[in-house]
Chains A and B, each alone.
Chain A
């Protein structure tokens, strides 16, 4: 069916928008020279230029210093190729209003197969006009080409914006330079050296020597552009969309009804997630009321999940607080953060999952307020550990007791150093009697010193001599003094930093 239509009439439209066009918006496209810059190798180079900059003699790949020298009022902006790709993906989705067969072509183009779709817009001409008008309204500049074949459409979009009438592909593109055949730059140079500048020259040349000299690729490209060799277009699949919504004829307000609606949405979403082997970590439920106010109930999970029966109860705290007003007529559930989640063996023993509990507590106090100790590479006591959210992946790293068997004595509690009050006689041993937290202590036993030096790049702290002291009152403390601080600015120069409580 499709091939038949193709022989009769095939339209291939090529939309070529300059990349980063979204970055130009608001920059006065075309009025002033503007270029995007990124780092290629060791040099900052132009990544993309607008028309005014091109007029000034700038080209893509030029060094930024050279461009500045040529063009005094040049505006530069860092390029973001990832965002461009993302934008192009959105634009591709938008072009599906014209045809279902749309795909991204290279880094800066879109390819539409408009077979059988042009008449819906009043013909090819009208369709292209419509595309151009709408893109203009969006603030995008574009170049459009339309031809029977994919290669010809590309050539027209890049070198001579036009519509090639049906069956006249050859006449439409033969006057274009050979680079319009999507060839490698060095092949283009080589062809030009031979005097083959236009596609017509190439066609007039004998094929066998060309194939011998340049390999099969050149002739393949030529044949594809002319339509002697097929080059199918495979439309990109739409990325999976992790959301579900439900619009109701009559507004609802009862909690039971909301539960039922959420249950329905969640089962739909979980089916999508299961098919894609994904789990969601964050989602939001938007409830739209009849009076157009909308309520957003966010939910973050401690671990990626796609199990409906486990997620549903986690909404209970928030759903019970919903003020439904005159009623709710639209429910929308959207996954905000999705992560790969592998399939699991079924039928295993059901163990209560700690992550469910973390999520439940997290909905009340915030997921970041549930933490775990993570080791940190430092001898300095305050820096030897860190508190990371319990949901982060790099928890639970070698805290095993085997690491601590040979570790020195450390207190259970650690607090910021608190000065102790004592008569200081300049000795290196701890004072016999001291006052700390309004209590008087006498030292019965002391062991030390254990010298801990800060890392050499931390010059604000000076090294400490730690002592483990047992007081005759019973409390066991971890105290230190700083032998390098000659001034003893703070009292005795001794501090309590921990307690073996």
Chain B
């Protein structure tokens, strides 16, 4: 069970890392499209796109911390 949980946590950490990179790239593409068309996104969507990568990286870090905690207990 421990190995399954540690593997899952590691996969979650990988997911949040990839998600962080994807969200940053997606946001930059959205900004580029805004500039190209001259059409601004509504504020709530823009805020979401700005906040989401930060949330992802924090969750990824939380996964790492929990992994370390589990490893130290083991």
**A and B found bound together:** no
Q: Report A's interface with B, CB cutoff 8 A.
A: none
